[in-house]
Chains A and B, each alone.
Chain A
Amino acid sequence: MQITTFPHPAEEAIELKLTGRFDAHESEIFRIALTDALGNGNHHIRVNLANVEFVDSTALAELVRGMKRCREARGDLTLVSPSDPVRVILELTKLDAAFSIV
């Protein structure tokens, strides 16, 4: 999985654009990217999932953990444009109700 980080132009947020399969093998690089973003004082994080074809349970847990970290820092974590399979997985796991999804 590849992660590209850039400031979101319209909001005071950092966007992490993920590409590929987000599974247990990739959770650490996501955690590092999120830690870097938070460490730079950005507490509003957008995670773009448009180019992610699959998320496993470890990845979902990582996203929940990330959301908690952002909220503890008085920010938030928003999921952006999840691909169709990721959207379905979020629905089946009922996590679509837990996240802010745009």
Chain B
Amino acid sequence: MTDSKLDSYRKWSTTPLVERPRYSVVIPAYNEEWRIVPTIGAIAMHMSSFDVPWELIVADDGSTDSTVELVEELDLVNLRLLLAEKNGGKGSAVRRGVLQARGDIVLFADADQSTPIEQFEALAAQLNDGYDVVVGSRAAEGADVANKSLSRKIFSSGLSFIVRGLFRIPVADTQCGFKMFTSDAAELLFRRQLVDEFSFDLEILYLAGKFDLKTCEVPVTWIDAPGSKVDAAKVAVEFLRDLCVIRWNDLRGRYDADNHPLINDPHYPQPKATQAA
């Protein structure tokens, strides 16, 4: 007799994992006190319904509101809260979370639940078909996008043109906060990531191409969450700057393991294979 989905959630929320998780879900969070708890609830309920071991990681990015206290008070035994001394950018929070993830499959999902967690299965199916990186996409045919502002539409179109045309990254939507990786791909990419801000996604996808990882896009349902922290004009300028930085980093060989400014730092997170259990 199988337990109900609610029973699976209750078991997950109270019984510590004793085996390696199949799935890891990473939520980067910066001043998300208004949105984080419903998002955790939705993700926890949906992921528990698979009835396989999974873990949830909230990578706080130096929040100054009550995000940390709210997450701590939830008392979910398989939720790990990673703290940062100061705000380092979304890219830094995602990197910390992903490099701590122990699952065979790693998803990072934005804290606003703008891409509902119910899209998880569609992305996981592609990983099971042999892809290394699967990108939730608002631009792929079949995507269902609601309430997206005109400024964000213009920003996305311009970005897509530059990214595909000039940087040869074959992904139409680099910025959707819903991306999935095999554990090996996550390790390879996020250990080399150097960009800490908004355009870290672009760097990750650039690196996926550089290292010949099999990458695809999956159309998702996306609902613009009110209170988005994205300032399209400001971000566009930063994005163009970071595009040049990424290309320059590559030309200088900074993504090669021997020449990487962080990989050889003893304070940098060590590969999982060398960590204590």
Residues of A that sit less than 8 Å from B by CB? 21, 23-25, 53-58, 60, 84-85, 87-89, 91-93
Q: Are B9 and A56 in contact, CB atoms less than 8 angstroms apart?
A: no
B58: interface (CB < 8 Å): no
Bound CA span A58–B35, Å: 9
Q: Which residues of B contact A23 (CB under 8 A)?
A: 223, 225-226
Check B38 against A57 for contact (C-beta < 8 Å): yes
Stretch at the interface among B41-49, B60-68, B209-217, B255-263: B41-49
Known: A21-B116, A53-B118. A88 touches B41 (CB 8 A): yes
The answer for the CA separation of A25 and B226 in the assembled complex, in Å, is 8
The one of A24, A25, A84, A93 in contact with B37, judged by C-beta atoms closer than 8 angstroms, is A93
25 A-B contacts (beta carbon < 8 Å):
A23-B223, A25-B146, A25-B223, A53-B116, A54-B38, A54-B42, A54-B113, A56-B225, A60-B38, A84-B4, A84-B5, A84-B6, A84-B9, A85-B42, A85-B45, A85-B46, A87-B6, A88-B41, A88-B42, A88-B44, A88-B45, A89-B41, A89-B42, A93-B37, A93-B41
When A and B form their complex, which 3 residue pairs have the shortest distance between CB atoms, in order from nearest?
A89-B41, A85-B45, A24-B226
Q: Which positions in B face A, CB cutoff 8 Å?
A: 4-6, 9, 34-35, 37-38, 40-42, 44-46, 74, 113, 116, 118, 146-147, 223, 225-227
Q: Which of A25, A84, A89 contacts B38 (CB 8 A)?
A: A89
- Residue of A24, A60, A84, A92 near B74 (CB, 8 A) is A92
Closest chain B residue to A21, Cβ basis: B223
Residues of chain A lying within 8 A (CB to CB) of residue B116: 21, 53-54
Contact for A84 among B45, B118, B225, CB less than 8 A: B45
A53 vs B39: C-alpha distance when bound (angstroms): 12
Contacts of B74 in A (CB 8 A): 92
Check if A56 sits within 8 Å of B35, measured CB to CB.
yes
Given contacts A23-B225, A25-B147, A88-B9, contact A56 B41 (CB under 8 A): no
